[in-house]
Amino acid sequence: MAFSSKMRLITLVLGIACLVSLIEGRDHLIGGKPDAWKVPSSSDSESLNKWASKNRFVIGDNLVWKYDSKKDSVLQVTREAYLTCNTTNPIAEHKNDETKVVLDKAGPHYFISGLKDNCDKGEKIIVVVITPRSKPSGTGISPALAPSSPAPESGAETPAVPPTSNAAGVKGGLMGVVGVLAWFVFM
């Protein structure tokens, strides 16, 4: 009987660990490299938005910036402030060498350099956050698209939401099945 109780406890702990790993967000280093938060060269003025459009961001993920806080900062702003590089009333202001922002809601998130001149030269990014939801047919997971908004007037487009994978959902489902089977085997 003691063996069965111990195995139930182990199965429960493993099941909880699997759930926590699915809930925990991923870190996304802005631009994919430590020195990406800077004024882009003229040839790749949209490089940060190109990078953002090729990545999948979901609620709970983290954006990470690495930069010299003596020379720059990160502002989270409204769409209007993004378009005009208005640095006066940000939603949030970050001034440390490594900034981590938790993506806590679906939709577009706008970030600009704290230096207006840098923002005017293209140091800004739009990140579109999705939230998984079940398809009506119940055949899998599909992303809930961010609320649509008109294209920016300045010629810059909001990045498209990239295709997603339901690998995490499959992994979680398999771990759940393994947990249930282990429960019955060791009961």
Q: Write out the chain's pLDDT in tens, 187 residues.
A: 555 667 676 666 566 655 544 556 899 999 999 889 999 887 666 789 999 999 999 999 999 999 999 999 999 999 999 999 999 999 999 999 999 999 999 999 999 999 999 999 999 999 999 986 534 444 444 444 444 444 444 444 444 444 444 444 444 554 555 555 555 555 5
Residue 52 three-state SS: helix
Q: 25, 97, 85, 11: which is closest to 55 by C-alpha?
A: 25
List, in sequence order, every residue forming a beta bridge with 93; answer none if it has no partner: 75
Environment class of 151 (CB within 10 Å of its CB; exposed 0-12, middle 13-18, buried 19+): exposed
Q: Are 133 and 142 in contact (CB under 8 A)?
A: yes
pLDDT score for 123: 95
Distance CA 64, CA 73 (A): 12
Residue 17 three-state SS: helix
Listed in sequence order, the residues at least 6 apart from 115 whose beta carbon sits closer than 8 Å to its beta carbon are: 72, 73, 87, 123
Q: What are the boundaries of each domain within the chain?
A: 26-165
Q: Are 42 and 26 in contact (CB under 8 A)?
A: no
Q: What is the dihedral of CA 93, 159, 42, 122, to 10 degrees?
A: -20
CATH of domain 26-165: 2.60.40.420
Please work out, in degrees rounded to the nearest 5, the angle formed at the alpha carbon of residue 110 by the alpha carbons of 104 and 114.
115
pLDDT score for 35: 87
pTM for the full predicted model: 0.62
